[in-house]
Amino acid sequence: MSSFTPARRTLVLGLLLIACAAPVRAMPGPAARAWLSDLVTRIDAADRAGRRAVSGRPIRTVVVHVEIAADGAMQRIEIERSSGAPDLDQRALRAVRGVGPLSAPPVSLLGHTGVADLSIPVELMR
């Protein structure tokens, strides 16, 4: 039985689709999928660690744009598409920043500048 909830499965799928949206990139291989899955899991854990109990209000999605260097250092983190709620947008940024040091992204995720340029949909309960 998978430990992924339906929302996390959607988030992983969305992340994989957005990460591969550039027309010049092929579908990521197993190493890239594993690295992206680990990133999503860590963002989810960072959000859970930084929030109080969820009220059960509907899920909102914030798309966070992240640039990750070849050594795993986050170079840029910003809101690409707001949820419409500034507090949730800030929570999404905190969750992404809270993942801690990352391992180097697989070469297949690096663009011609040597940076992994990702748009990550972060789904949050209000």
- Tell me how far apart the alpha carbons of residues 83 and 1 are, in angstroms, rounded to a whole number: 31
Domain span at residue 36?
A: 6-125
Assigned domain for 76 exists: yes
Specify if 1 maps to a domain: no
- Per-residue pLDDT tens digits for 60-113: 899 999 999 999 999 999 999 999 999 999 999 999 999 988 999 999 999 999
pTM of the model: 0.74
pLDDT, tens digit, 9 for 90 and up, residues 10-41: 444 455 445 444 444 556 789 999 999 999 99
Query: What CATH number is given to the structural domain containing 22?
Result: 3.30.1150
- Give me the number of domains the chain comprises: 1
- Give buried/exposed letters for 12-35 (b at 16+ CB in 10 A, else e): bebbbebbbeeeeeeebeeebbeb
